Amino acid sequence: INIQNIRNFSIIAHIDHGKSTLADRLIEKTGSLDKREMKEQVLDSLEVERRHGITVKAQSVRMEYAFNGCLYELNMIDTPGHADFSYEVSKSLSACEGVLLVVDATQGVEAQTVANLYLALENDLEIIPVINKIDLPTADVEKTKSEIENLGLDVSNVILISAKNDIGTQEVLEAIIKYIPSPKVNDEGNLKALIIDSWYDNYKGVVCLIRVFEGEINLNDRIMIFSNKKEYNIENLSVLTPKPKDIEKLHAGEVGILISNIKNIEDVLVGDTVTLADNPAKQALKGFKKIKPFVYAGIYPTDTEKYDDLKEGLEKLKLNDSSLEYEPEKSDALGFGFRCGFLGMLHMNITKERLEEEFGLDIVVTTPSVLYKVEKTDDSILEISNPKDLPEPQFIKAIFEPYVSIDCLTPAEYIGSVLNLLQEKRGYQKNLSYLSSNRCLITYAAPLSEIIINFYDTLKSITKGYASFNYEFEGYKKSDLVKMIIMINNEPIDSFSQIIHKDKAYYYARDVLAKLKEFVPRQLFEIKLQAKVSGKIIAKEEIKALRKDVLAKCYGGDITRKRKLLEKQKEGKKKLKQLGKVAISKEAFMKLLEPA
Ligand code: GTP
């Protein structure tokens, strides 16, 4: 097909604004699948994605559409739908020349609309605004239009649709052809193809979705991955229509799927460049980086016997998730488990759910932490995520913590509460603007550590569910951080240690001790609870001793009854965890680890 007749585009939208429904309609309209084959929302392939209603792995569909007597090839490239995956979104977008920006007419512009728009603008893409769900009685097209306009977009060619009822979708196809430019390419050059996504398939091994920018790629070519110089023979090239269809070659400007004998997805990371082994390109495509986890937490099997099963589960997930990191760790109370690194809270929750549901594991996830950078007195830099790895104060020159930039969209009536919350989270305001008379876009910077614990739920509750937010890593900043140690009868309990801002240590300490007092059962001896910062006790509590006589209830001399009670007590003891010399049930322990 002539390059002039190719269009590469993506659909970007806030969650639930109708991206998948519109994608389905476009596939239907271009006759790529007949009704019988049309499974609802063909693009979301992973089971967990389906349930979360969010897309994690990008896919792409090649459609054909005749317009004004010409046949066009439309490549629709799916993007992951969440802030945690913004690097992947950006790479998917860089494979496109334009996007459909879908906004729900009943909701208006939301945080992810803004975040995705920024990524599209950074990639210099043509943006076609599409207002969806106009069939609903609560749709407010004019207001939605003016909100889009206030983001700086031209709304003169905005398309009004109902993806569900197939209204306006024809116009969308025509707009893609009319407004999105054909790919600008150099088909003379040495092969340069972008890895848009890679995933592990049980039958095919590692699969890469690529976009060719220069040159062409042919079946049986020997390729080289630019960053690691690894070489492979191409075994299969295909496109999804969305049924898989084998092809012989991909020209510059085209998108397709490549299979070689690649064993490990870490060798073909998103953003890397594929070139020819014998005739390599001189330079890679811009913007490749290996993304690193931002959020860390311990994952432990509830049943210590299941450690190997958990290990196997993590290994399997890692096959398909290059940004998941894990290493063995031992906790004083939870036994053997893993310290895991995630891109963000959503990534963490998806991983947890998959371990539970796909691998049938019962697990505990500890309070998440971020990656701190510690400048030591010998000028070396240490990266730590676990408070127990923090050096003693005398060896620390400074501690740096990750900051994120937060875009929060809220109805104007809640601005005060939202600003208060952001302030409490140690944030500072960067911008505040109105998208319409009652919707406000607040931009704040705040430490990531404050955002990963209880931010989302609090924001939702103070705005009755109306606010949406998105965050993006901004950089490291020096902070007044200290390590707080919790001690039970003078023994420090690692699982409760916390790196925390100096000004918040006291309040956090009071909280933890109060919880401990509530959940640690009284024992036969008195229990002293203390919180310590830089060698000083900043808070304390005590749990009074209890004299527990299990036989007290047995008035008579019935020996079998007595024995039964003693047996029961023994069993009870088995289930208890030792916190120092204090025994505590696993359930209580999990309660204690829940974020305050
Ligand atoms: P994510 O995959 O979570 O990003 O969501 P999405 O943007 O793909 O949204 P999806 O297409 O799953 O639609 C969300 C909900 O809105 C579904 O229940 C759809 O049936 C519904 N929906 C989509 N388009 C329309 C529309 O035009 N009108 C009405 N009434 N409902 C729609």
Report H helices in 473-524. Answer: 502-519
What tokens appear for 106 in the block? 């009943």
What tokens appear for 24 in the block? 């389905």
Q: Is the pLDDT at 301 greater than 50, yes or no?
A: yes
**Residue % of the chain over a pLDDT of 90:** 53
Average pLDDT over residues 55-64: 70
Asked if residue 378 belongs to a known ligand binding site, the reply is: no
Task: Give the pLDDT score at 519.
Answer: 78
For residue 429, list its beta bridge partners: 444
Look at residues 296, 299, 293 and name the one whose alpha carbon lies nearest to residue 353.
Answer: 299
Task: Give the pLDDT score at 593.
Answer: 67
d(CA 253, CA 504): 54
d(CA 336, CA 331): 6
Phi, psi of 351 (to 5 degrees): -60, -45
Look at residues 387, 449, 470 and name the one whose alpha carbon lies nearest to residue 85.
Answer: 470
70 contacts 174 by C-beta, under 8 angstroms:
no
Q: Which of 351-365, 543-557, 580-594 has the lowest mean pLDDT?
A: 543-557
Average pLDDT over residues 535-545: 88
Asked if residue 17 belongs to a known ligand binding site, the reply is: yes
Indicate which residue's Cα is closest to atom 29 of ligand 1.
133
Q: Is the pLDDT at 582 greater than 90, yes or no?
A: no
Task: Give the pLDDT score at 37.
Answer: 54
Task: Give the pLDDT score at 241.
Answer: 81
Task: Give the pLDDT score at 209.
Answer: 93
Tell me the per-residue pLDDT of 421-446, one tens digit each, with 9 for 90 and over: 999 999 999 999 999 888 999 999 99
What is the CA(19)–ligand 1 centre distance, in A?
A: 7
- To test the ligand 1 pocket, which listed residue (17, 21, 103) has its Cβ within 8 A of the most ligand atoms? 21
d(CA 452, CA 346): 10
Residue 168 beta carbon below 6 angstroms from any ligand 1 atom: no
Average pLDDT over residues 26-52: 59
What is the CA(17)–ligand 1 centre distance, in A?
A: 5
What is the CA(77)–ligand 1 centre distance, in A?
A: 18
Of 481 and 346, the structure prediction assigns the larger pLDDT to: 481
Q: Is the pLDDT at 334 greater than 90, yes or no?
A: no
d(CA 206, CA 323): 15
Q: Is the pLDDT at 144 greater than 90, yes or no?
A: yes
Q: Is the pLDDT at 549 greater than 60, yes or no?
A: no
151 contacts 446 by C-beta, under 8 angstroms:
no
State the virtual CA torsion across 499, 501, 504, 510 in degrees, nearest 10: 20
Residue 223 beta carbon below 6 angstroms from any ligand 1 atom: no
Residue 25 beta carbon below 6 angstroms from any ligand 1 atom: no
Determine whether 301 is exposed, middle or buried from the number of CB atoms within 10 Å of its CB (0-12, 13-18, 19+). buried
Average pLDDT over residues 499-518: 89
Task: Give the pLDDT score at 585.
Answer: 64
What tokens appear for 197 in the block? 């996504």
pTM (2 d.p.): 0.81
Residue 81 beta carbon below 6 angstroms from any ligand 1 atom: yes
Closest ligand 1 atom to 81 CA? 4
Average pLDDT over residues 324-329: 92
Q: Is the pLDDT at 355 greater than 70, yes or no?
A: yes
Q: Is the pLDDT at 56 greater than 50, yes or no?
A: no
Task: Give the pLDDT score at 472.
Answer: 86
SS3 state at 30:
coil
Task: Give the pLDDT score at 352.
Answer: 92
Q: How confident is the model at residue 387 (pLDDT cuts 50, 70, 90)?
A: confident
Average pLDDT over residues 127-135: 98
For the chain, the maximum distance between any two Cα atoms, rounded to a whole number of angstroms, is 100
Q: Which residues contact 540 (CB under 8 A, 6 or more apart)?
A: 513, 528, 529, 530, 531
CA distances from 48 to 53, 54, 96, 342, 516 (A): 8, 8, 26, 17, 35
Look at residues 155, 134, 151 and name the one whose alpha carbon lies nearest to residue 436.
Answer: 151
CA distances from 128 to 75, 227, 319 (A): 16, 35, 36
d(CA 456, CA 127): 30
Other Cβ atoms less than 10 A from the Cβ of 503: the count is 10
Tell me the per-residue pLDDT of 168-217, one tens digit each, with 9 for 90 and over: 999 999 999 999 999 988 777 899 999 998 888 777 888 899 999 999 99
Residue 322 beta carbon below 6 angstroms from any ligand 1 atom: no
Q: Is the pLDDT at 94 greater than 50, yes or no?
A: yes
Asked if residue 135 belongs to a known ligand binding site, the reply is: yes
Task: Give the pLDDT score at 131.
Answer: 98
Tell me the per-residue pLDDT of 451-494, one tens digit each, with 9 for 90 and over: 988 888 899 899 988 898 888 889 999 999 999 998 888 888 87
Average pLDDT over residues 402-428: 94
The beta strands (E) that lie in 14-114 are given as: 60-67, 70-77, 98-104
What tokens appear for 408 in the block? 């929060």
What is the CA(464)–ligand 1 centre distance, in A?
A: 22
Task: Give the pLDDT score at 386.
Answer: 86
Q: What's the whole-number average pLDDT of the chain?
A: 86
209 contacts 57 by C-beta, under 8 angstroms:
no
d(CA 396, CA 380): 10
Asked if residue 540 belongs to a known ligand binding site, the reply is: no
What is the CA(472)–ligand 1 centre distance, in A?
A: 25
Tokens 């239907």 locate to: 28
Q: Is the pLDDT at 44 greater than 80, yes or no?
A: no
What is the CA(15)–ligand 1 centre distance, in A?
A: 8
Closest ligand 1 atom to 162 CA? 27
- DSSP for 114-169, written as a single string: HHHHHHHHHTT-EEEEEEE-TTSTT--HHHHHHHHHTTT---TT-EE-BTTTTBSH
Task: Give the pLDDT score at 50.
Answer: 46
d(CA 323, CA 292): 7
Indicate which residue's Cα is closest to atom 32 of ligand 1.
164
What is the CA(138)–ligand 1 centre distance, in A?
A: 15
Look at residues 378, 388, 246 and name the one whose alpha carbon lies nearest to residue 329.
Answer: 388
Angle between helices 111-122 and 86-94 (to 10 degrees): 50
What is the CA(242)–ligand 1 centre distance, in A?
A: 20
Closest ligand 1 atom to 102 CA? 7
Q: Which of 77-81, 251-255, 467-471 has the lowest mean pLDDT?
A: 77-81
215 contacts 251 by C-beta, under 8 angstroms:
no
What is the CA(469)–ligand 1 centre distance, in A?
A: 19
Q: Which of 258-272, 331-345, 512-526 has the lowest mean pLDDT?
A: 512-526
Q: Which of 79-93, 163-177, 187-201, 259-273 has the lowest mean pLDDT?
A: 79-93
d(CA 385, CA 373): 9
Average pLDDT over residues 414-418: 95
For residue 199, list its beta bridge partners: 207
Closest ligand 1 atom to 132 CA? 27
Task: Give the pLDDT score at 574.
Answer: 47
Q: Is the pLDDT at 554 greater than 80, yes or no?
A: no
Q: Is the pLDDT at 298 greater than 60, yes or no?
A: yes
Look at residues 120, 109, 129, 137 and name the one whose alpha carbon lies nearest to residue 17.
Answer: 109
Residue 17 beta carbon below 6 angstroms from any ligand 1 atom: yes
Look at residues 104, 97, 77 and name the one whose alpha carbon lies nearest to residue 178.
Answer: 97
What's the complex ipTM? 0.98
Angle between helices 169-179 and 19-29 (to 10 degrees): 80
Q: Is the pLDDT at 275 greater than 60, yes or no?
A: yes
d(CA 471, CA 289): 19
Average pLDDT over residues 572-578: 50
Q: Is the pLDDT at 594 greater than 90, yes or no?
A: no
The number of angstroms, rounded, from the C-alpha of 173 to the middle of its chain's C-alpha atoms is 31
Q: How confident is the model at residue 416 (pLDDT cuts 50, 70, 90)?
A: very high
CA distances from 215 to 95, 106, 245, 275, 445 (A): 15, 45, 22, 9, 43
374 contacts 321 by C-beta, under 8 angstroms:
no
d(CA 202, CA 188): 36
Tell me the per-residue pLDDT of 276-285, one tens digit each, with 9 for 90 and over: 999 999 999 9
Asked if residue 19 belongs to a known ligand binding site, the reply is: yes
